[in-house]
Amino acid sequence: MYPIQFQGQTFTAQGKVVPPEGDKCGICGSVLPEPEPEGIITGFAMAKNAVTGENEKICYDCATKMEVENMDYFGQAFLYYDEKTQAITNFIGRVVGGGSRIVRKWQDSFGGERWAIRFWHHGEVWSGTYYKSAGDYIRCKRTKLKGLYS
């Protein structure tokens, strides 16, 4: 009959099984999810620790907070655009900009399609160039515009 499950824990004939402790987020200390064996989702991001200079694993919540703070501080970002939902997201698909508007579309000199897109982030209008033919990324900058239509 062993192993048995009781109150969310596993017991063998020898006693309680303590699961090995997973990696923790270098910022908030939450336990990082196990990576999917065959997937591209790793369950964590990498960031340089400002004190030690070492690269360490951080959770998606902290990665998103860091991205948003970087946007506010530096006024530029490398983000992603979802054509279906028109959402501006970071690399793990968390929405960091909303109410987007396609301002114009054109072809670059290599025949690639580009879109100029404006969106809101923290009460400010950002503009970005979406490289439609080259993936789904969008290079973005904060503007001094008053609105998406100004």
For Zn ion, which is the closer residue by CB, 58 or 138? Answer: 58
Classify residue 128 as exposed, middle or buried by CB count within 10 Å of its CB (0-12, 13-18, 19+).
Answer: buried
Q: Per CB under 5 A, does 32 bind Zn ion? A: no
Considering only 25, 45, 87, 117, the residue that binds Zn ion (CB under 5 A) is 25
Residues that contact Zn ion, how many (by CB under 5 A): 5
> To 5 degrees, how large is the angle CA 109–CA 114–CA 116?
130
Residues 59-78 that bind Zn ion (CB under 5 A): 59, 62
Considering only 4, 17, 28, 46, the residue that binds Zn ion (CB under 5 A) is 28
> To 5 degrees, how large is the angle CA 8–CA 28–CA 120?
115
Give the whole-angstrom CA distance, residue 142 versus residue 118.
10
- For binding to Zn ion (CB under 5 A), which residues are involved? 25, 27-28, 59, 62
